[in-house]
Amino acid sequence: MVSAALAVLAGCGPSSATLSLNLMDAARCSEFCIERFDVFVAGVPTTVACGSAAKVTVVDTGQALDLLVVGKGSGSELTAHTTITAIEGQEVAVDLALAPASRPHITAIEAEEKVLFGPTRVTITGEGFGAAGDLTIGGMPAMIESWSDTAIFAVTAVSGDTVVSHCGVRSFAVPAPLEPLDIDVLTPLPASCATGRLIDGGAIFTGADAPLGLFECGAGCGSGLLATMTGDTFTAFDEFTGCPTAMSIVDADAPFLVVDGALNACTFAASQLACTQRATPPGPITRISALGAPVAFTRTSTAPGMPDELWVSNEMRSARIGEGFILDAFAIERRSVLARTARGIRALTWRASMLHEIDVDTAVMPCPVPRLMIATGPVPGQPNRLSITVCERAGGAEVRVFDLSTPPAGPKVSAFVRDFLPDAAAASRDGSLLVLWHLSGGALAFVDATSGEVLGKQQIPPTYAGAALVRSPLSDRFYLGGPEPGQVTRIVIPAR
């Protein structure tokens, strides 16, 4: 039923009555694009302008008479069919259910992206859309780019039932073929670290899809917590005194932890964490990358205003990297280190239990000092094969993916993300999707690492400085610190 109309019969004499019609007000006439109503009483026609009241003389009171009402205009015809009986001396009200003779019909919905990484374009095809109308997806209006009787081009940021409306008549709902991101804000920490901040994390390779998160706890970071991140409540793995600042996990169960500025090599044994302090570089360690079980690279702060330094530590000692390294231009992340040297930009990677140094084509580097660098690998057993660098450029960030497997390493894919400067980055399990995160701006950007296409942006609440972005080892489930201390945002990306 599209709308209701009211007919009133008033008996006026022994053989006649008056039928009073007030079918639609002016606003409804405009909504449904109706200009007039053709009224048939026992087959006798009368035309009534939409929005106007009219009276029709009805004969043969006491007899059941056929009543047909047809609304006509530029939209779909609206019809109502019933029987009426005029009773002398009585006034009888009749409700008319006006139904459309036809309605818009959706035959197909196509989207540029199956997964909603942000606003995406959709194409709705079908018939009966008219020259203009309304389109809702998931109950929200879509932004219309073009509209014709058989095709609608629009942009949406939500998924759900798709409905086309033309002249007040709605199509039947058709589900949009879009998979939304699953974003939940959790409060998952135990009372001992209720306001903990997620500052780092990694996979402990236990076979479970549960990364290990490193949280700083207590007032002024007086303690730390390692917790396995799965479900809505995280499981405390180890709690310790001292302020943690960085962690890197490599070779199944051998994490490196930086606590109170000291470098510790740890192992997991019988669900217990055992750590031994290593020779620690001077100066606070701001980043650590474990290239192999005995080898860790650390980035350390020096005097204010001076460049950071790059140090390598093994079981016996720590040493600053020399031999032409210019230490104010390097990035470090997990199993890869990128540095500018006297011989050009060099990449250090760990493969087959050995440290490898690879030339990088300086001419194709987007910047001398990458803002971010992460290592990923679409090939099982080679997590260091690809390196993703993010450089700050005018108007946004430039992202390049390098293949470090064959020197000289050159960019496989390049992308430019406008109006966006990421503070953290992660890659999907197969290395095909990059997740970039701007902490203070409260935004995510998603980049196809195989084509360089920017898939979209997603607004989320801003969070505290230094929050970590961690991916689960066996799925595309990502954990982000915040937005408030004690909270962790979980993002699940469906299969593309």
Q: Which residue has the higher pLDDT, 153 or 245?
A: 153
- pLDDT score of 35 more than 90: yes
**pLDDT (0 to 100) of residue 378:** 44
pLDDT digits (tens, 9 = 90+) for 16-31: 677 777 788 899 999 9
Q: For 369-428, write each residue's pLDDT tens digit.
A: 677 877 665 444 444 466 778 888 899 999 988 766 655 556 678 899 999 999 988 888
The count of other CB atoms within 10 Å of the CB of residue 272 is 9
204 pLDDT higher than 90: no
Question: Which region holds residue 89: left if phi is over 0, alpha if psi is between -120 and 50, else beta?
Answer: left
10 Å CB burial of residue 460 (0-12, 13-18, 19+) is buried
Record the tokens describing residue 245, joined without a space.
């600042």
pLDDT at 3: 42
Question: Which CA distances in Å does 53 have to 64, 93, 335, 432, 439?
Answer: 23, 15, 81, 65, 62
Confidence at 288, pLDDT banded by 50, 70, 90: confident
Q: Which residue has the tokens 């990364």?
A: 211
In terms of Cβ atoms closer than 10 Å to its own Cβ (0-12, 13-18, 19+), residue 195 is middle
pLDDT of residue 2: 44
pLDDT of residue 4: 43
Percent of the chain residues past pLDDT 70, beyond the cut: 75
Whether 77 contacts 100, CB under 8 Å: yes
Q: Is the pLDDT of residue 133 over 50?
A: yes
Q: How far apart are CA 451 and CA 415, in angstroms?
A: 8
Answer yes or no: is pLDDT of 339 > 50.
yes
- Distance, C-alpha 139 to centroid of its chain: 18
Rounded mean pLDDT of 21-48?
Answer: 88
d(CA 145, CA 132): 11
pLDDT in tens, 148-187: 999 999 999 899 999 999 999 999 999 999 888 999 999 9
Least confident of 21-30, 62-71, 249-258: 249-258
Choice between 40 and 279, residue whose per-residue pLDDT is larger: 40
Q: Which two tokens stand for residue 167?
A: 């002249």
Report the C-alpha gap between 287 and 285 in whole angstroms: 6
Higher pLDDT, 230 or 292: 230
pLDDT value for 172: 96
Whether the Cβ atoms of residue 24 and residue 50 lie closer than 8 Å to each other: yes
Between 481 and 258, residue with greater pLDDT: 481
The answer to whether 34 touches 78, Cβ cutoff 8 Å, is yes
**Residue 192, φ and ψ in degrees, nearest 5:** -65, -15
- Give the contacts of 130 (CB within 8 A, at least 6 positions apart): 74, 75, 104, 149, 166, 167
Q: How many CB atoms lie within 10 A of CB 337?
A: 27
Nearest partner of 399 among 408, 390, 407, judged by Cα: 390
Q: Is the pLDDT of residue 343 over 80?
A: no
Cβ atoms of residues 406 and 416 within 8 Å: no
Rg of the chain over Cα atoms, rounded to whole angstroms, equals 34
Which tops the pLDDT comparison, 365 or 110? Answer: 110
Q: What is the tens place of the pLDDT at every residue in 432-479? A: 889 999 998 899 999 988 888 899 999 999 999 889 999 888 889 999
- pLDDT number for residue 262: 84
d(CA 341, CA 493): 39
Ordered domains of the chain (ranges, CATH): 3-100 (2.60.40), 105-180 (2.60.40.10), 182-492 (2.130.10.10)
Mean pLDDT of the chain: 81
* Lowest mean pLDDT, pick from 199-203, 274-278, 334-338, 406-410: 406-410
If one compares 78 and 274, the residue with the highest pLDDT of the two is 78
Mean pLDDT of 351-360: 64
Is 50 exceeded by the pLDDT of residue 8? no
Cα–Cα separations (whole angstroms), residue 165 to 5, 29, 129, 337 = 21, 15, 7, 56
pLDDT at 406: 58
Instruction: Point out the least confidently predicted range of 171-175, 221-225, 359-363, 364-368.
Output: 359-363
pLDDT of residue 171: 96
